[in-house]
């Protein structure tokens, strides 16, 4: 698989990463099945794996799966929640960051964290203090690169003035294009890589979800406004567009969505997640789907006419995010 550099940091990763969070969700595969899937990803060329302290037992799983392959891969993890629990609120105080780093090193069975993200900006801790703390960890050899997640342009600039930010992780896809307004230009200016999560619109861009599909009662998308029955029906035009392009290119909708995303900038590395080997292979197949400039212009022109209906998060989560 081709590799990409995350900005000017010198961090080389596979052009497509693997978001491991879903392997610790309800209805996930067994531990042994998940370990086998992660190792299969490495065999298929993926070298970039994403986890977090806040993903339950996920760091343990990723650490065990990748321990025998550690020299071949880049592992990214995150800090920023009290006791690693998103329900307990934010905590990026320096002492917390240091203790999380030590614990993550043990859970990941490694002596260094390749990319250490702040999971969400903490309004109670200046970002300069956060960057300074990670800088200390880098000088101690415990961390190699610093990242941010879901941070705004001002926060990115402040952090970058203290310590080079290697990558920003935020949601970005045909289904959510807000980063194009301010975030991507800022990243390009500063030489920072972009790692989009939910690059398939949480499954919406695969063409398998429409207004008639009943989501499982444990499916976390039930709480997301964009996935209400009414909004899925309203947003069907986007799916129809992706399916149409996929048919023309003899590809799958997911491959078109990933190919489009990667074509936006050379420093973009999507991290789709999956619990199924055939989906993993399908996602990797996107690397071989090339969209011409004319095709990209056609797609972007069509996207400009489609209005996405529904917020990506419930109001209580959205309000918190907008204050950052």
Q: Which among 231, 258, 212, 206 has a CA at the least distance from the CA of 312?
A: 231
172 catalytic? Reply is no
Kindly report the number of other CB atoms within 10 A of residue 138's CB atom. 18
* Cα(124)–Cα(126) distance, integer angstroms: 7
* Cβ density class 291-302: b for 16+ within 10 Å, e for less: beeebeeebeeb
* Cα(34)–Cα(126) distance, integer angstroms: 37
For the chain, give the longest Cα–Cα distance: 54
Residues 6+ apart with CB under 8 A from 88: 81, 82
DSSP assignment of 187-227 equals HHHHTBEEEEESTTGGGGGGT---TT----TT-GGGG-GGG
Tokens of 312: 């990506």
What is the enclosing helix (H) or strand (E) of 261?
A: helix 253-264
- Out of 55, 117, 172, 176, pick the active-site residue: 55
Q: What amino acid positions are annotated as catalytic residues?
A: 55
């Amino acid at each position: 698989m081709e590799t990409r550099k995350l900005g000017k940091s010198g961090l080389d990763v596979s052009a497509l990463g693997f978001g491991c969070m879903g392997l610790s969700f309800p209805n996930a595969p067994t531990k042994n099945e998940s370990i086998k899937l992660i190792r299969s990803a490495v065999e298929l060329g993926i070298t970039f794996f994403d986890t977090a302290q806040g993903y339950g037992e996920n760091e343990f799983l990723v650490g065990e799966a990748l321990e025998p392959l550690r020299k071949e891969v880049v592992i990214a993890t995150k800090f920023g929640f009290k006791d690693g629990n998103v329900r307990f609120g934010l905590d990026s105080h320096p002492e917390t960051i240091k203790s999380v780093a030590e614990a993550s090193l043990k859970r990941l069975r490694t002596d260094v964290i390749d990319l250490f993200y702040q999971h969400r900006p903490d309004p109670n801790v200046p970002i300069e203090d956060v960057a300074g703390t990670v800088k200390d960890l880098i000088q101690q050899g415990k961390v190699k690169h610093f990242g941010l997640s879901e941070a705004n342009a001002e926060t990115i600039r402040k952090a970058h003035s203290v310590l080079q930010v290697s990558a920003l992780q935020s949601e970005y896809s045909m289904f959510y294009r807000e980063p194009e307004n301010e975030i991507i230009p800022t990243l390009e200016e500063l030489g920072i890589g972009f790692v989009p999560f939910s690059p398939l619109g949480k499954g919406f861009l695969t063409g398998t979800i429409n207004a008639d599909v009943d989501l499982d009662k444990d499916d976390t998308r039930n709480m997301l406004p964009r996935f209400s029955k009414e909004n899925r029906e309203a947003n069907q035009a986007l799916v129809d567009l992706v399916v149409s392009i996929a048919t023309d290119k003899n590809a799958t909708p997911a491959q078109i969505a990933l190919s489009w995303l990667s074509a936006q900038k050379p420093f973009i590395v999507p991290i789709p997640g999956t619990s199924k080997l055939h989906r993993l292979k399908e996602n990797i197949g996107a690397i071989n789907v090339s969209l011409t400039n004319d095709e990209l212009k056609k797609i972007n022109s069509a996207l400009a006419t489609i209005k996405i209906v529904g917020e990506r998060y419930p109001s209580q989560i959205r309000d918190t995010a907008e204050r950052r």
